[in-house]
Amino acid sequence: MLTALDLFQIWCLDLLFFSIYNSFILPIFDYGNVVYDTCSQSDVLLLDSAQTTAAKIITGCIKTTANAAVLNDISLAKLGTRREKQILLYYYKIMFGMASPTLHSLIPKMYKDLSPDMLRNSECPDSFG
């Protein structure tokens, strides 16, 4: 029968492995994900299998455990989902000048900013006169 101390030691070990995964393994998967988002489907499958293998190792699961169950167990999103979030975040930074000014200058102007005419989707004037 497991005592409270045994359960605490198991919980601490799980927490340690999860911290190691978040500190050392996950940043390697996330590094450059904006660039390699255009990779082929076979490369995406290789990256996903590497992530689930690492997740199975830190949770102590056997190889035949379902991948979705492992990722849900440790509350991790698939790499594709993480990549989409990172790309949207990076695009937001580019749009609002939080990234390199060179990247911000590459974004084309919106049509409403280029047209001298009042468009339906532009701001309403202060007076109609």
Asked, for residue 93, whether it belongs to a domain, the answer is yes
Q: Please tell me the total count of domains within the chain.
A: 1
State pLDDT tens for residues 3-45: 666 666 666 777 777 788 888 888 888 887 877 778 888 988 8
Residues of the domain holding 56: 4-114
Q: What is the sign of the dihedral through the CA atoms of 57, 61, 63 and 65?
A: negative
Give the type of residue at 83.
R
Asked, for residue 129, whether it belongs to a domain, the answer is no
Higher pLDDT, 120 or 92: 92
Burial 22-53 (b: 16+ CB within 10 A, else e): eeebbeebeeebeeeeeeeeeebeebbeebbe
SS3 category, 85: helix
Encoding tokens for residue 113? 């900013």
The whole-model pTM stands at 0.61
State the Cα–Cα distance between residues 28 and 34, nearest whole angstrom. Answer: 13
Asked, for residue 14, whether it belongs to a domain, the answer is yes
State pLDDT tens for residues 47-102: 888 888 888 887 778 888 888 888 887 777 888 888 888 889 988 888 888 888 88
Give residue 114's pLDDT. 66
Asked, for residue 123, whether it belongs to a domain, the answer is no
Asked, for residue 121, whether it belongs to a domain, the answer is no
Give residue 108's pLDDT. 77
Length of the chain: 129
Residue written as token pair 């996950």:
26
Asked, for residue 8, whether it belongs to a domain, the answer is yes
Give residue 123's pLDDT. 61
Give residue 6's pLDDT. 61
